[in-house]
Chain A
Amino acid sequence: MTKQVQQLDRVIIRFAGDSGDGMQLTGDRFTAETAEFGNDISTLPNYPAEIRAPAGTIPGVSSFQLHFADHDILTPGDAPNVLVAMNPAALRANIGDLPKGADVIVNTDEFSKRNLAKVGYAASPVEDGSLDDYRVHAIPLTSMTVKALEDFDLSKKDAERAKNMFALGLLSWLYHRPVEGTIGFLERKFAKKPEIMKANVAAFQAGWSFGETTEDFVTSYEVKPATLEPGLYRQITGNTALAWGLVAAGERSGLDVFLGSYPITPASDILHELSKFKNFGVRTFQAEDEIAAVGAALGASFGGALGLTTTSGPGVALKAETIGLAVSVELPLLIVNVQRSGPSTGMPTKTEQADLLQAMFGRNGESPVPIIAPLSPADCFYAAIEAARIAVKYRTPVFILSDGYLANGSEPWKLPEVADLPVIEADFAAPDQEDFQPFRRDPETLARPWAVPGTAGLEHRIGGLEKADGSGNISYDPANHDLMTRLRQAKVDGIANDVEPLRVDDPDGDARVLVLGWGGTYGAISAAVRRVRKAGGKVAQAHVRHLNPFPANMAQVLKSYDKVVVPEINLGQLATLLRAKYLVDVVSYNRVRGLPFKAEELADVIRDVMHSD
């Protein structure tokens, strides 16, 4: 039969299955094929905290959404055009997100009475007409995989496990993806198990061939490569970008990186990644707890290393006292918080932006800490370098607020030239100074000297007790404490003049409404702004990367607009800070569902504000 080829400008696919079905791997591979093909991409993995929730249940569903296009895109997409559901639970958990007319590929082998009953289907939705609004492709993926592998020396179970590769092969055919990368990947991954390797490749190819021959799919689709700036690209997740940014900060400062960390979702991947870079002089210390992790990092900083700790919100709560100590002793320290849903344990694998006020105020005493929030997966790389620059230059702890969405999401990244990355001057105190004073400040930055042990003639003691201005000796003098408190604050406030001003995107310069976001919502807000503008709406957009201190032009930007909308995945934390500091009554939009915003949802919010009085 002749197959038709249809051109599309963008597609959103969601792979969904049981935690053990390999959906994350399938999604990763499809993403890699798509990146190689040259589309712009944005991904959203979504998986349960349980390693293996009971098989076939809704809590056990793991999914991976991928948006790819022939133009630049900003989000993983609101609603999938295609759902691959490996079992009834995956169908039930995801079908509500699909628009009518979407393609649904279901693995009918898993639609047994028992599996249907597990998730509350009385009859198979594939047969009872309840999916009539969709284009359903009922395919026995498991048994076709087993059949394709019958000549291999494999157990039935091992053969069944290759069904995700069959599905990947089918989807790769459907969207004209290049296959060499996946075959090469399987050859490397299963190099030590040749039979499994060959079987997975065979399943992948069988899926492709099935697409080509079946009458179920009469059309395949092409999405042309996107027009991206020339350069060398790679696909990168936020956690990897952050880890590489920290390595880069070490290289650009000449300091050895010392990471103290305790495993915690969704930050652990940064520990895993950094532990690979010992040849860069990166030392990773998996501590006994969160407190020891940050303590060791601060101890390393005292010794002249670039000390850092990586964690998520509950870990930050435990580290608070040590971060306060770092404020008091004025040493560089990076604290990476990959935010997740809280309070307490919350929803560990789900995203949120609700630790901004914790970073601002979550310590005793007046304890200012600069805060930087990356706005996309690739921006995590640059945010890490910027945080290190500030920490070293101003001798201060700095928070990096990433989040679960950025951490695991990915996008194409145009690689920078190393020479273009900023140089960070450690500027250690020189030995044998007359009248050395460990708390005598640089008049411009208010930073104190970084005099590391081993430097002759500068022996001195630091600690959490209040220090006399200059000498650093213990002081209970009332006026001195007032002075030191204000100096520490002034030092951090002064950073405002040393960071990029807030850039406002207001194409015609006549918008009356500004959308102001921070952190991982950048993609969704930008996509929403585009939609509003496409329909003729006038709206300005700005995204805050430096949350403490705010850029120097913040007040002016806020006052330039009649209304300022602040969408946040919390109950209004940036809004609270803006209202308190600038007396501007911003319009807060808040959802805390553990999921990123959808572009259409924010477009509606912007339109509502534009049309209200």
Chain B
Amino acid sequence: MTDALALVPKSDLPLKMKDFKSDQEVRWCPGCGDYAILAAVQGFMPELGIKRENTVFVSGIGCSSRFPYYMNTYGFHSIHGRAPAIATGLASARQDLSVWVVTGDGDALSIGGNHLIHALRRNVNIKILLFNNRIYGLTKGQYSPTSETGKVTKSSPMGSVDSPFNPISLAIGAEGAFVARTLDSDRQHLQSVLRAAAAHQGAALVEIYQNCNIFNDGAYEPLKDAERRDDITLRLEHGQPLVFGKDRDKALIRDGFGFKVGSPDDPDVVVHDAHTPDPSLAFALSRLDQPAFTHVPIGVFRSAPRPSYDSLLNAQVAEAKAQQGEGDLAALLASGDTWRVD
């Protein structure tokens, strides 16, 4: 489909959505947003045209991390927070694989925060789907690193005193080359973002707003409410002016380091540039939803190509072989200062 998958073998036959469904019973709570994401991913994968056996889903721990069991591909359900690290080794050792990481806000941003930021800065060839429901689900309802300050949960009866992460800001700050956001409930948009992520050579971070109907129901209600959503949702498209609103009557105008809302007719309407190496615009856009839900951009914030980690690493291997020849163990052992005893 793109150069990003050039080294992954193509499927001989066209695959269908059902080819990606495993025989395992899906065990998320009824009504969980994960079902919609699973269906969207399973429906999207055939588009890539690659062999199913060359697709790997790696996850950590949490509700979202059960995901690999439901994909009829290779899968690795690992330990809490470590999926990006494990996927880094896999993707670096095997350039012929399409490696996907499924993680959650606790998994990726609390216990695994270090691995996430380093995978992004290295631009490791993995696609990270971060299901953000702003709560700990599997441990039954504690506040997460994306929970809003003041949130009352089982572990914060008087309200959380933590300030939350903004995953998009964090990913851009971590030198992420591809950073995007989408919604569990908008299948078409979700798949369009997956498409863009798959086309990126290197690490792609896709934040997926996902509803936990048991412990944090309605967390994204403003974005789903038909009355309000179009006035606060900003759909990012590269090269397009940042115009939004139910009647497409609002637009973003540069204002210092941030934006103000103005008219689409204003000559200074900002045109989205996801490809620019300078992350400033993407970062400024990521701050638009603070305070919460003022305006929420969805889509690709940043897609600025640079060489992926695996390509650089393997290029060094190829260069070393070209310059020094294939390694010769006997020659290595006898190299340098040796002496013979007769």
Contact = CB atoms under 8 A, between A and B. Distances in A.
**Mutual binders A and B:** yes
Interface of A: 32, 35-36, 38, 181, 228-235, 244, 247-248, 251, 256, 258, 260, 277-283, 285, 287-289, 291-293, 295-305, 307, 321-322, 325, 329, 414-418, 453-465, 473-474
B118 A325 contact: no
A461 B92 contact: no
B89 A295 contact: yes
Given A35-B337, A292-B114, A453-B97, A307 B54 contact: no
A517 B181 CA distance: 59
B77 A299 contact: no
B250 interface: no
B76 A461 contact: yes
B339 interface: yes
A270 to B, nearest CB: 15
Contacts of B89: 258, 260, 285, 295-303, 305, 307
Given A280-B329, A461-B69, 5 more contacts: A234-B336, A278-B316, A291-B85, A299-B58, A417-B330
B53 A457 contact: yes
Contact of A233 (B84, B323, B339): B339
Interface string B2-27: 00000001000000000000101000
Nearest to B86: A299
A303 B90 contact: yes
Contact of B327 (A247, A300, A474): A247
A463 B78 contact: yes
Contact of A304 (B94, B115, B338): B94
A388 to B, nearest CB: 14
The list of the 7 closest CB pairs from A to B, nearest first, reads: A463-B77, A280-B327, A299-B89, A296-B89, A295-B85, A461-B75, A278-B320
Interface of B: 9, 22, 24, 51-56, 58, 61, 68-69, 71-79, 82, 84-94, 96-97, 114-115, 117-118, 313-314, 316-317, 319-321, 323-327, 329-330, 332-334, 336-342
5 contacts: A35-B339, A38-B341, A300-B93, A322-B79, A453-B97
Contact of B329 (A247, A256, A462): A247
Contacts of B58: 299
Most buried by A among B88, B327, B341: B341
Contacts of B77: 461-465
Contacts of B90: 299-300, 302-303, 453
Contacts of A234: 333-334, 336-339
Contacts of A414: 341
A321 B94 CA distance: 24
A14 B54 CA distance: 58
Contacts of B56: 453
Nearest to B27: A474
Contacts of B94: 303-305, 453-454
Contacts, number: 210
B26 to A, nearest CB: 12
Contact of B53 (A36, A293, A329, A456): A456
A95 to B, nearest CB: 33
Contacts of B84: 292
A303 B97 contact: yes
A283 B312 CA distance: 11
Given A292-B118, A461-B75, A230 B341 contact: yes
Contact of A321 (B74, B79, B88, B323): B79
A322 B80 CA distance: 10
A296 B92 contact: yes
Contact of A278 (B86, B317, B337): B317
Contact of B334 (A297, A415, A463): A415
B53 A247 contact: no
A333 to B, nearest CB: 10
| Residue from the set B68, B97, B325, B338 with the largest chain A CB neighbour count within 10 Å | B338
B309 to A, nearest CB: 9
Contacts of B86: 295-296, 298-299, 302
Identify the interface centre among B24, B51, B55, B82: most chain A CB within 10 Å of its CB.
Answer: B82
A259 to B, nearest CB: 10
A467 to B, nearest CB: 10
Given A260-B89, A279-B324, A181 B337 contact: yes
Nearest to B115: A292
B326 to A, nearest CB: 6
B327 A461 contact: no
Contact of A299 (B85, B313, B332, B340): B85
Given A231-B341, A283-B313, A461-B76, A295 B51 contact: no
Given A234-B337, A278-B316, A299-B89, A458 B78 contact: no
A168 B61 CA distance: 59
B53 A303 contact: no
A311 B53 CA distance: 34
Given A453-B53, A453-B54, A296 B339 contact: no
B52 A459 contact: yes
Given A244-B332, A279-B325, A295-B86, A285 B92 contact: yes
Contacts of B71: 461
Nearest to A421: B329
Contacts of A297: 89
Contacts of B51: 454, 456
A389 to B, nearest CB: 16
A32 B338 CA distance: 10
A349 B264 CA distance: 67
Contact of B82 (A295, A302, A307, A474): A295
Contact of B326 (A279, A289, A296, A298): A279
